[in-house]
Every structure is written in structure tokens, then in C-alpha cells.
Amino acid sequence: MKPNVKDLSREELEIWLSERGESRYRVDQIRRWLFQKGAASFAEMTNLSAKLRRELEGGFAISRLRVARSDRSADGTVKLLFSLDDGYEIESVLIPETKRLTLCISTQAGCGLGCAFCATALLGLKRNLTAAEIVDQILKASRAVPAEQRITHIVLMGMGEPLANYAQTVRAIAVMTDGDSGLGFSSRRVTLSTVGLVPQIKKLIDETQVNLAISLHATTDEVRSRLMPVNRKYPLEELTAACEFYQQKRGRMITFEYILIAGVNDGLDQVAPLAKLARTLNAKVNLIPYNKVEDLPWERPSEEVQEAFLAALEKQKVTATLRREKGHDIDAACGQLRLKTERELANANC
């Protein structure tokens, strides 16, 4: 198998070219073909010499993702299920809002973090995605967008834990945020969501400029460890210290994601500690009503409970939003489309 040219960093491609006596500016030409024009072959790269095209052809492959299934929800959310070369499946979700079009992408096939409520956790970790597989989700999803629209924001919140696949994720971020010959997203429009791997959070803050979202989901170590085993390794005190570091270094608002799960973390007694954390760390809170996962015992609270929780947070002067039913009818939460497809296949009579 030839290496995938999209997995090369700009520097690596530069070295490869200079070893063949080619100028450095070829790097941008090649990358524009790959990331901006979606070239599927080196033969298309007509501003390169025939000799260079042949050498590229001999040395590298160009990857493409295959769309296995696509579902459009009543509210416009589009869920894409991709098949990888080795048969694993990953998901991306396009989420239209009034002034934005956000694409949520995956960073791993499966996930090894074992969050108790999550459909992807049921799979376990299959493997890390390559940088190319992460970027290809954006290239492929762009083609599913009507001509007059563009993807405006990227969130690394699909399947997997981006910081458990640190090197490839950061490589992919470098392509996303490269304005010259990458995808040209401003770092402010790229958000990485993590369970809270503290050392990698600090590294990420040092090495990139992207926004940070933390899957908080609880305000005590007791409840958080029950929901998220990672909390035993990096308890809230260490996690909040990493959030402080983000504050000092970046000075931007951090996002806390907080799934509302009935009877677990949705009591109004949770509002004051959550508000305190959010105010201290300059965080906004995204409340996400839990999406029911078959086979797991957790339930979504009623709309009244959700709205009351939001109102109480806002009363405490916290910037908060409540996700209202985006893509619920197509199972647009982490890992759920894949799970559904597997079940449908298992139940099919043919």
C-alpha cells in the first residue's frame, strides 16, 4: 500500500519535493489540488510537470471516503455514515442554523473512553483515524451542501476522543486552518470537544488556536466518575486547572457541554455548583438533552425539567443554551446512526 499523500504534513511534502529537486512552491500547488479542488488523481494536477505527476503517482495514493448512507432530518440536519477502507464506519453530521452551517466530524472509529451513557462506547476503540480520514469527512460533506451554501464551522464532536488520537487530530487541524492551501477555516471556527484528557488539553492549547469544549456532564467527582471513567484519572480539580490554563493563554470563553440525564444530573441543586464553575472559568454552558440509547438505562428528562434547568442557570448569570431537538429523529448523537444501521442489518430478513 502506498502512503496517502493527504496524510503528509506540509513540511513532509516539502522534504519529499526537495529530495527530487522540486521547488517549495509546489507544496501549495499540490495541496490546493487535494484540499481545495478535491482532486482524485495526480493526473488532474495539470500545473505540475508530467515528470512530477508520475513521481507522485509512483509514491503516493490519494484517499477518498465512501458514503455508505446519508439521512436528512426534518429540521435539515444531515447525517453521513462513511465506510473506511478496512470496513469500519464513522459518522459526520451537518447541522444548519440561522447563520451557520456546522459540520461535526469523527476522530476515531469507536472510542475507548467508556462513557456510561454513550453509544460509541459500546463499540470500544476500533482504531484511530488518520489525518486524511478526518479531513476527508469535511471534503465529502462539502459536496453534500447546496452550491449557495458553505460549511462555516467545524466541531470535533463526532465519534471518538480527539485527544486520544492527538497527533493525527492536530495534523488534520493544520489542514483545516491553513488559509493558503488547506481548507481555510479560521481557528475560531474550529472547536474540539474532549472528555478531559488533561495533559493533551495543555498540549493542544500550546500547539493550536482552536476553541475548546469540555464534556463536563457533572459537578461532583462522584457523579462524573460514574458517568465518565476518565474522571478517575483526571478528576475535576485537575480538569478545572486545565480550563484555567486555557483562560490565561487564550482568553476566550470555554464551552462546557452538559448532557441532561433524568434523575442523574438534572436536579436544580446542580445549578449552583455548575454556575460557580462556569463563572470562575469563564465558560458558557451547552445543555444537551440526553439522546436515548437502546440497551442503556439512561433517560432524557422532560422538556419542563430541561427548561427549568436552563432558566435557573441563566438566573445565575451564566451564558447557556439548550439544544432543542436537532436531528433527534435521525439519531444524530454520537455513534447512534452506526448503531441503528447495524441493528437494521441484523434485523433484515434478506
- Tell me which residues are annotated as active site: 91, 334
Residues ≥6 apart with Cβ < 8 Å to 249: 205, 206
Contact residue for ligand SAH among 13, 103, 123, 334 (CB under 6 A): 334
Residues ≥6 apart with Cβ < 8 Å to 324: 289
- Whichever of 27 and 157 has its CB closer to ligand SAH, that residue is 157
118 binds ligand SAH (CB under 6 A): yes
137 binds ligand SAH (CB under 6 A): no
Question: Nearest 5°: phi and psi at 291?
Answer: -90, 120
Binding mask 252-271 for ligand SAH (x = CB under 6 A): -----x-x------------
Contact residue for ligand SAH among 90, 264, 293, 313 (CB under 6 A): 293
Give, as one character, the DSSP assignment of residue 32.
I
Question: Which of the ranges 41-49, 56-64, 116-124, 146-154 carries the binding residues for ligand SAH, by CB under 6 A?
Answer: 116-124
- Whichever of 8 and 115 has its CB closer to ligand SAH, that residue is 115
333 binds ligand SAH (CB under 6 A): yes
> Which H/E stretch holds residue 31?
helix 26-31
What is the smallest separation between the CB atom of 291 and ligand SAH, expressed in angstroms?
4
**What's the CA gap between 346 and 40, in Å, rounded?**
34
What is the smallest separation between the CB atom of 161 and ligand SAH, expressed in angstroms?
4
The angle that helices 271-280 and 303-315 make with each other, rounded to 10 degrees, is 50
**What's the CA gap between 172 and 228, in Å, rounded?**
26
Residue entry with cell 469500519: 88
CA 273 to chain centre: 28
What is the smallest separation between the CB atom of 85 and ligand SAH, expressed in angstroms?
23
290 binds ligand SAH (CB under 6 A): yes
Residue entry with cell 492527538: 166
Q: Which residues bind ligand SAH (CB under 6 A)?
A: 115, 117-119, 157, 161, 193-195, 215, 257, 259, 288, 290-291, 293, 333-334
